[in-house]
Structure 1
Amino acid sequence: MDALNLPLTSLRIGLIYNPLGGLARKHRHVISTILAELPKVSEWQISTGEDFDSAVNALIQTKIEWLIIIGGDGTIQGIFTRIFSRLPSNRWPFISIIPGGTTNMTAFDLGIHEKPNQILERLRQHLNQMTNNLTLKTINKAVMRIEQTGQPALYGMFFGLGLIARGVKFSRSRIKQIGITGNIFTSIIVLRSLIGTFWGRPHPAWAPVHIMPPQTTEANEPQPYLLIMISTLDRILMGIRPYWGQEKAPLHMTFIKQHCIRFWLAILRITLNQGQLLKKEHGYLSYNTESLELLLDDEYIVDGELFYAASHQGPLRISAKEKVKFLIL
C-alpha cells in the first residue's frame, strides 16, 4: 500500500451517490446534510440507468480526476462499466469508495468498514481545511472485464455462477425489503442457496450450472457445477478468501462440481481459509490466471447484478488487464 499527495486546490473532484443502497438508506438524512456542506465537489445522485449514464457523461465532460462513489457493489459495477468502456485507462480517475449498498464486498476488501456518514464527515473536514494538500493511502487493484460477442463489455470485481447467481435472485425477495444489509444479508443468501440445493425439493431455481470446464482433460461436453467464483478481490463476504491457487495472476477462481465429495466439510474449510486442503479429484478446483473463457447458457452475476450468457454468441471472455488506483478515505 502506497500513499498519494493530492493537491486539493486544483484537483477536480466528483461524487456519485446512490441513495437507494441499503446502508445509504439507513443514513440518508445525515449523508444529505454532509453532502450539502462539501466544497468544490461536483455531485450527482443516481437511482436509474439513465441517471448512471447522465452522471458518467457529466464527469467525463468535466474531466473529473478524483471520483468518490457512495454505493454498494452493484453501483460500483454500473459506474465502472460506463466509465471504463468510454475512457482509455490512462484517463481513468482516482476512485474512492464509501460503502452505501446492501452488499459492499469491494469496499470491505479495501479495508473500508466505517459507516458512510463517518467517512463523509472526515472528507468534509479534509476539504474544509486550510491546507492545500491531502495525503491518502492508495491501493492498485485489477478490474475484471467480462465480454461476449454481441454484448457490451462489463467491468467489475466479482463474478459468480450457480448457487451464487441463484442466491442473488432470492435476495430480491422480502429479505432485501426488510432492510438487512452487510454480512448478515449475504450470509442469509448463501445459507438459503445451500438449503435449497441439498435439502429442498429439486427445482430449476437451485439447479447447477453447466459449463465447458477450463483446465481439464475430461470429455468435451458441459459439466455440472454447484458454484463458480471468479474475482480480483482478495476477500469476499465475511472476510473469507475462497481461493487457494498459488499462481501469480490477478483473477482468482474457484470451481465446485455438482457431485463433489464431503461438501459440507469443504465449505467449512473454505470458510476457515483452508481451501488448500481440498483436492481437484474430489470436485474442487482453484487457481489464478490472467484470463479465461466459459461457454454456457445461464444467468451469472457481476457484483450482485444479474446477466445472461447464451452459448450461441460464443464464450464469455473474462480478463483483468487494467488496474484502478483506489484512494482510501
Structure 2
Amino acid sequence: MSPEQVRLDDGRPNNGGSAMEDAMASTPRPDAGSLILLNPRSFRMSLRDRRRRIHELAERRQARLVEVSEPEEIEQNVLAAMHRGCRLLVVIGGDGTVQAAVTALASCPESQAQPDILVLGGGRTNYTARDIGTHDRLLVTLALALDDPARLSATERRTLALHHPGQARVEHGFFVAGALVDHVIRDCHSYRSGGTGPLRRGHLSSAWRVFQLGLLGLLGRSSYRPVELSVSATELGRLDGACRLLLLTSLHHRREWIDPYARRGTGPVRLTMIKQSASSFWRRLPRLLHGRYQKDMSPESGYLSGNSTEVRIQGLERLSLDGQEIDLDPGQPLTVTAGPIFRFLHP
C-alpha cells in the first residue's frame, strides 16, 4: 500500500471507485478555518487503528486536530476556534462529545456566524450521527469535508435547551432520558466500567446488559424505583404521578425504527411521559414505540405525548442528556425549551 493509500472503515483498501473515495488520496491543502475535535476515549477510536488513521489524514490535509475528552476541554477549544473564525467544526466522538460541542456553540453571541458541523460517530450508539446520516464511512467523509465541503449536503437540527436553577449554565443537546431509561443508561455505564472482556467492553455489551436488566425485571428483581414527577407541557396538558418513562427530543427519527412520540400538539420539543399505572401499557407498547397513539392514550389514562413549545418538570433528580449523566435538585423545576438551530453536513 502506498503512503497515500488508506483503508476504508470496513477494512477494504481504497483503490478508486466513487468520487467520495477518491477524495481520500487528494492533494493536501492548507487549513481554511477548520477544527477537528477527536475524543480518544470514544468506543470506536480503539477499532481497526482508527485513531491513528484520523491523525494521519488530518496531517496530510494540514487540518488542525485536537484531542479532547472533558466538557471543559471541548468548550475551550470550540470557543477558541470561533474566535479564529472557524467555518467547519468536525466532531469525532460519541453523543456526549457532540452535546458538549453544541452547548459551547450555543453560548456564543447570536450575531456570531456559526460554523458548519460534521458529526462523525465515534461512540457506541451515535444517536445524533445516525439521525443526520454520518454514522459510518468516517474517514471517507472526513477527507471529503476537508477537501471540498461544498460537495457535501447540509441539513439543520434544532437542540433542546435545559434550564435549571441549580445548574451553572444552560445545557443543550438532542435527547433527554429520565425515569426508567435514565436508570438503564446509568446501569450500562456502570456495568461496562466494572470489568473487562467482550461482554463488558465489546460491541454487544450494552445489549447484553439490557437483556440482563429485562430478565431481572421479569423476575421481579429490578432495582428501578418509579420517581414521582409533575410534568406540564404547553399544547399537551399535565401529568402527575409515579413515572415509568420520560423522554424528550428535538429529533424526528426519520431513519429510526423506534419513534415513541404522538403526533399531537405543536412546537419543536417532543415529549413522552408515561405513568407507572398507565392503562394497558404492555399491550400498547408495540404501538407506542412507533408513535401510533390511540385517542384514549391521554393524560387521563397515564399518557402524555406529543409536540410542545415548553416542558416543565418538577421532582426530577437525575437525567441523561445525550448519554451524559446529570444530577439535579428535585426541589427546583427543570424547564426544557427549543434551543438554537445548527447546520450539519452529511454525504
The answer to whether TM tops 0.5 is yes
Residue deviations 1:176-220, cap 9 Å, x none?
A: 653344xx55545655555555533364xx0112111325567xx
**Is 1:300 aligned to 2:319, yes or no?**
yes
The one-letter code matched in structure 2 to 1:145 is A
CA distance in 2, matches of 1:35, 1:96: 16
Q: Please state whether the residue corresponding to 1:240 is helix, strand or coil.
A: coil
Q: Is the 8 A contact 2:270 2:308 kept in 1?
A: yes
User: Is contact 2:166–2:328 with CA below 8 Å preserved after alignment?
Assistant: no
Quick check: which one's strand share is greater? 1
What are the equivalent positions in structure 2 for 1:1-329 lying under 5 Å apart? 11-27=32-48, 29-38=49-58, 39-88=61-110, 90-114=112-136, 118-125=137-144, 127-128=146-147, 134-151=150-167, 152-175=169-192, 178-181=200-203, 187-188=207-208, 190-192=210-212, 194-197=214-217, 199-201=219-221, 203=223, 206-214=224-232, 215-216=236-237, 222-235=240-253, 239-276=257-294, 279-280=297-298, 281-312=300-331, 314-329=332-347
Counterpart AA for 2:311: L
How many residues are treated as equivalent by the alignment? 307
Q: Distance in 2 between matches of 1:112 and 1:270?
A: 27
Give the AA of the match of 2:162: I
Distance across 1 between alignment mates of 2:115 and 2:321: 22
C-alpha contact 1:105 1:236 (8 A) present in aligned 2: no
* Structure 1 segments unaligned to the other structure (5+ residues): 1-7
TM-score after normalising by structure 1: 0.82
Partner of 1:5: none
- Structure with the larger RCO, 1 or 2 (CA within 8 Å, 6+ apart): 1
CA contact under 8 A between 2:119 and 2:129: conserved in structure 1?
yes
Structure 2 CA distance for aligned equivalents of residues 273 and 292 of structure 1: 19
Separation in 2, partners of 1:89, 1:246:
34
Q: Distance in 2 between matches of 1:31 and 1:52?
A: 18
SS in 1 for 2:82: helix
Write the distance in 1 (CA, Å) between the matches of 2:149 and 2:30: 8
- The CA distance in 2 between the partners of 1:102 and 1:317, in whole Å, is 28
1:79-118 Cα shifts (integer Å, max 9, x gaps) = 222221244375322111101012211111112341xxx3
Deviation, 1:273, is 4.6
Paired residues of 2:37 and 2:68 also in contact (CA < 8 A): yes
CA distance in 2, matches of 1:190, 1:282: 28
> What amino acid is the match of 1:35?
H
Provide the identity percentage.
23
Letter in 2 for 1:226: R
Q: State the Cα deviation string for residues 143-197 of structure 1 (Å, max 9, x = none).
A: 001011141110000011101110111111334653344xx55545655555555
Partner AA of 1:106 in structure 2: T
Change over 3 Å in CA distance of 1:123–1:308 after alignment to 2: closer
User: Aligned partner of 1:295: which letter?
Assistant: Q
> Which residues of structure 2 form unaligned runs of 5+?
1-28
TM-score, normalised to structure 2, is: 0.78
Whether the aligned pair in 2 keeps the contact of 1:167 and 1:192 (CA below 8 Å) is no
Amino acid at match of 2:171: L
Specify the SS of the correspondent of 1:98.
strand
- Residues 235 and 241, structure 1, Cα contact 8 Å, conserved in 2: yes
Structure with larger Rg: 2
**What is the CA distance between 1:33 and its match in structure 2?**
2.0
Q: Report the 3-state secondary structure (helix = DSSP H, G, I; strand = E; otherwise coil) of the residue aligned with 1:77.
A: helix
Q: How far apart in 2 are the matches of 1:238 and 1:321? A: 22
Contact 1:208–1:227 under 8 Å retained in 2: no
Distance 2:149 2:237 in 1: 53
Q: What is the RMSD of the two structures over their aligned residues, measured on CA atoms?
A: 2.8
